[in-house]
Structure 1
Amino acid sequence: MDRKCFLFLLCMNISVSFILLPDAPRRIVKVLKVSNGGSWGRWGITQFCAEGTYAVGYQLKIEQYQLNGDDTSLNAIALVCKDPDGVRYGGKVTSNQGIWGTWYNNASCHNIDGTPAFLTAFQLQVQRSVGEFDDTAANYVKFKCGDFGSVYKPFELASPPGHGHYGQMGDWSDSCPPMSAICGIKTRVEQPLTDGDDTALNDVEFYCCVDNPDVGK
C-alpha cells in the first residue's frame, strides 16, 4: 500500500490493520506470539516467504536426547512456502539457528480434498529453567492449518512424534485473520557458550501476511 493510499484511508476513517515494519517485504496483518518462550539468547532477523507465497509446512532441526550430555533439543525452525494454488515454490525460510541437531522431514498442510492449506497458528513446547540442572528451553513446535476460503475447519499439524523430550506445551497463539496465513519467522536463539549450559532455540514469533490490498481494511 503506497503512502498516498494509506493517508486517504485514514482521512476516510477506514480502519487499516496492516502492521508497518521497517523494510518488511510483505503486508503484515498480525504477529503471532506465545507467553511461554524461553528468555535466553537474542532475537534474529525476520525472514519472509517470497512475495505471494505462504507457509504450507515446516521443518525442525532437533538435537536428540544426549543421555548424560548437554541437551539443547530444538535448534531451528524452517517454513516451507508455496503460493495459494500450491504450485509456485516460495523458498524455505528460517531465522537464527542453533548449531546442534539434524533437520527432520517436512510436515505439510493438506485439506481433505488435497487442496493446499497454510499455517495459521502455533503452540510451543518449552522447558522452564531448572536451575543447576540441564536447561533446554524450546523443545518442539506444532501448528494449526487453515485455507484462505475458510471452507474447511482448521486442523492441527505436528511433525512426528509431535512432542519433545522436555517441558510442556503452552497455550496456542492467536490465529491469523481470515484470508491471511503465516509468511514470516523470527527466532530467539542462545549462541554456544564456551563453558556452560547451552539451550539453543528459546522462542519464536510468526508473521501473518496478505497480498490482497483489500484484506485488512
Structure 2
Amino acid sequence: MREHERRGTSVMEGVCTGFGHKVIFVDNGGSWGSWSGVRQCPPGTYATGFSLKVEKKLGPNGDDTALNGIMLHCTGLTSATISSEMCWGDWTHAQYCPSGSRLMSFQLRVERHLGGNGDDTAANNVRFFCTDGTMLQGFGQDWGEWGNTSPECSAGICGLSAKLEEEQGSRGDDTSLNDVKMLCC
C-alpha cells in the first residue's frame, strides 16, 4: 500500500488529491527519509523555473549525496522562490520555461539501492516539462536511471514536498533527497 493510500487520500496513476490540490508524483523515488512540509507558491503564482542543489562527486573515499534540494521559481502576480533542501552541495543556476509557459510535469533520475558497501545516492537529477512542450533538464548527477514522467498539471505546478533523509553521520550512508511530489494549482 502506498503512503498516499494509508492517509485515506485518493490515488490514481500518479495523482493524489488529499492535500487540497491535485498532487503529481513518480513511481521511482528512493525509499529513505521522511516527507517535508508542503512548500507552495504564493496565491496567483505558478512555477516557471527551477534550480537544483547538487553535491559534486566526492570520489571513492567520499559519501556522495547527489541531489540535495529543489527550488521552484514562482512568477505571476508576484515573484517568489520555494525549496525543500538538505545541507550539502550548491545551487545550480535557474532554468526557466519560455515566456508564458509554466512547469507542468517532471521526471526523476534515481539510483537504485546498491546494498553492501555501495554508496547510495537516491535522487540524482530532475527533468521538468513546460506547458509549451519544452523540456528542461537539471544540472544534477548522472547516477541511476530516469523514471516515467509524472501526470501533467494542465494549469501548472505551484508547490512541492520532498522526501529527505536526515544526516546519518557515523551511523551510515547519506542519501539526502529521495523523492518529490508536485502540487498542481
TM-score range, shorter chain: 0.7 to 0.9
Gap change, CA 1:20 and 1:173, over 3 Å in 2: closer
State how 1:151-190 maps to structure 2 within 5 Å.
Answer: 153-160=132-139, 164-177=141-154, 180-190=155-165
State how 1:1-150 maps to structure 2 within 5 Å.
Answer: 19=17, 21=19, 28=21, 30-68=22-60, 69-83=62-76, 88-95=77-84, 97-110=85-98, 115-132=99-116, 133-146=118-131
**Structure 1-normalised TM-score?**
0.73
**Structure 2-normalised TM-score?**
0.86
Q: What does the per-residue CA deviation read over 1:61-81, in whole Å, with 9 as the maximum and x for residues that have no partner?
A: 000111121100000001000
- Give, in angstroms, the shift of residue 116 of structure 1: 2.1
> Alignment length, in residue pairs?
167
- Which amino acid is 1:54 matched to? Y
2:125·2:138 contact (CA, 8 Å) conserved in 1? no
* Structure 2 runs not aligned, ≥5 long: 1-15
Structure number with greater Rg is: 1
Q: What does the per-residue CA deviation read over 1:20-46, in whole Å, with 9 as the maximum and x for residues that have no partner?
A: 63xx6xxx2x21100000000000000
Higher strand share: 2
Using the aligned pairs only, state the percent identity.
Answer: 41
2:26·2:107 contact (CA, 8 Å) conserved in 1? yes
1:49·1:93 contact (CA, 8 Å) conserved in 2? yes
The separation in 1 between residues aligned to 2:83 and 2:43, in whole angstroms, is 16
Alignment correspondent of 1:205: 181
* Structure 1 runs not aligned, ≥5 long: 1-17, 147-152, 210-217
